[in-house]
Amino acid sequence: MPELATEQKESVHRIFADFLKARGQRQTPERFAVLDAVYAEQGHFDADELYVVLLGGNVKVSRATVYNTLELLCECQLVAKHQFGNKQSKYEAAYSYWQHDHLICMDCNELFEFCDPRIQSIQEMVADIFQFDIRHHSLHMYGRCRREACPNREASENGA
């Protein structure tokens, strides 16, 4: 995700602050440090990776604070949480971010994002048919990439 403009960063901070206030929760510098780190990340990450990034940036934050803050950010829809197979949950920034879907290589675990407007059309058609108000969707397709750079490609071809 490209870095947010200053106006968008202020919006993200305001949304999170309002969310915390409405829930009677404290607006701590650590929580906002986690928020900023999320929006500085490119692509998908897990909570432990984010924790390491924060520690590397000399942010004094506990692992529990990172996990708890990520859950709060998911609740206020500033972060999307994904469960790709049996792997650890992955997160990504979600504010003002276009809908996209994922291809996941079962050999190297590489994630590929794509967006196809036909999926949005199908979603709208299905919503009309079932008289359903879709808030968001998640499409994950698993397979084996055919890239030369796939580190487990030869092993998978021999075992498949």
Contact 39, 80 (CB under 8 A): no
Q: From CA 3, how far away is CA 108, in angstroms rounded?
A: 27
pTM of the shown model? 0.71
Q: What is the DSSP string of 38-91?
A: HHHS-S-B-HHHHHHHHHHTT----HHHHHHHHHHHHHTTSEEEE--TTSPPEE
Tell me how far apart the alpha carbons of residues 16 and 21 are, in angstroms, rounded to a whole number.
9
- pLDDT 10s digits, 97-136: 667 787 888 888 777 877 788 888 898 999 999 999 987 7
Q: Residue 43 above 60 pLDDT?
A: yes
Nearest in space to 48 (alpha carbons), one of 87, 15, 94:
87
- Average per-residue pLDDT in the chain? 85
Most confident of 13-27, 42-56, 70-84, 92-106: 13-27
Residue 3 in this model has a pLDDT that exceeds 70: no
Furthest C-alpha separation in the chain:
56
Q: What percent of the chain has pLDDT over 70?
A: 89
Distance, in Å, from the CA atom of 72 to the CA atom of 56, rounded to the nearest integer, reads 23
For residue 45, give both structure tokens. 């990450």
What is the pLDDT, as a whole number, of residue 120? Answer: 84
Across the range 14-32, mean pLDDT stands at 96
Domains of the chain and CATH, by start: 1-97 (1.10.10.10), 98-160 (3.30.1490.190)
> By the 8 A CB rule, do 101 and 116 touch?
yes
71: pLDDT strictly greater than 50: yes
Per-residue pLDDT averaged across 26-48, rounded? 93
Calculate what percentage of the chain has a pLDDT beyond 90: 48
